[in-house]
Amino acid sequence: MKKTILIFVLMTAVLSSCSTLDSAVNNQTNQPENIVTVESADVSPQPADITANPETLRILAKETLNWTDCINIAKNETKLLDFITWGRAVSDAELFDRLIDRAFIPYSQSITSTNWSLAKPTSEETVTRAGAAFFIWHIYAEARSNPRLLSLYAARYANQPNPVSPIADVPVRSPFFNSILGSIEMEFLSLTDDRNFSPAQPIRGAELLAILRKIEN
C-alpha cells in the first residue's frame, strides 16, 4: 500500500513539472518575434537632461542655432562674455556687433574662403560646426588670456613647402584651421569620422552649452 502511494506521488510531481515546462515554452513562443531592446548609442546631453534657464532650454530644443542663439547661451549660462559686456546688460544686436568687431564671429563660414567679404554676417544665419569652432576657440583664447592660440597650429605648418592638413576637409590655408584643430585637440569638438570634421554641418545647442561650460570650468 505504501509503495502504491509513493508511486502515485512521484507520478503526480512529474506530470506537474511537465505542465509547468509546457506553459513556460508556450508563453515564450507566443511572444512577438520582432521585439528587440536596443540601447541608444547617443549619449550626448538632451534638453530634458540639462539644467538651464527657460530661455536657454527653448533654444536647445531647436534643430539649428543662429548667432543670436549662441550669444544667448553664452550670456545666460556662463560669464565668458563678461570681457565684452563688463557685466552690464547689453542688447543681443549690440553684443553681436561687438563680437564681430573683435573677430569672435567670422564674416563667412565658408571653410575654403581666404578673402572674407566686407559684408557683415547676419545674426540669424545658421551656425555651422566651422563657425562654432571659430567662436569657441576665440572665447577659449580670451578666457586663457592667450592670443597665441589663434595662430598656433597654422604656425606649425607655415614653413612646410606643401603642407597637408591632418583633417581631410579642413585646408591648412583655411581661416578656420587653427580654431578647428585647437577645438579637436582640447576635445571641445570631434571628427565626424576618422578623417573629416564636416564643417558645414550645423552645431546643436546642447553640444555648444556643454563646451562653453567646459571652458569656464
Query: Does residue 94 fall inside a structural domain?
Result: yes
Query: Does residue 181 fall inside a structural domain?
Result: yes
Query: Does residue 167 fall inside a structural domain?
Result: yes
pLDDT at 45 (0 to 100): 54
pLDDT at 158 (0 to 100): 84
Query: Does residue 31 fall inside a structural domain?
Result: no
Query: Does residue 3 fall inside a structural domain?
Result: no
Query: Does residue 12 fall inside a structural domain?
Result: no
5, pLDDT greater than 70: no
Each residue of 36-53: pLDDT tens digit? 222 323 335 555 577 889
Specify the DSSP class assigned to residue 48.
G
Q: Calculate mean pLDDT across residues 114-140.
A: 92
The whole domain housing 119 covers: 52-216
Q: Nearest Cα to 156, choosing from 130, 185, 133?
A: 185
Cα 167 from chain centre: 18
Query: Does residue 205 fall inside a structural domain?
Result: yes
pLDDT at 208 (0 to 100): 97
pLDDT at 14 (0 to 100): 37
Count of domains forming the chain: 1
Q: Nearest Cα to 184, choosing from 145, 124, 132?
A: 132
Query: Does residue 176 fall inside a structural domain?
Result: yes
pTM of the shown model:
0.77
Question: 3-class SS at 19?
Answer: helix
Question: What is the percentage of the chain residues whose pLDDT exceeds 70?
Answer: 78
CA atoms within 13 A on the CB side of 26: 6
**Taking all residues of the chain, what is their mean pLDDT, rounded to a whole number?**
81
87, pLDDT greater than 50: yes
Q: Nearest Cα to 68, choosing from 90, 40, 38, 44?
A: 90
Grid coordinates given for 74: 553664452
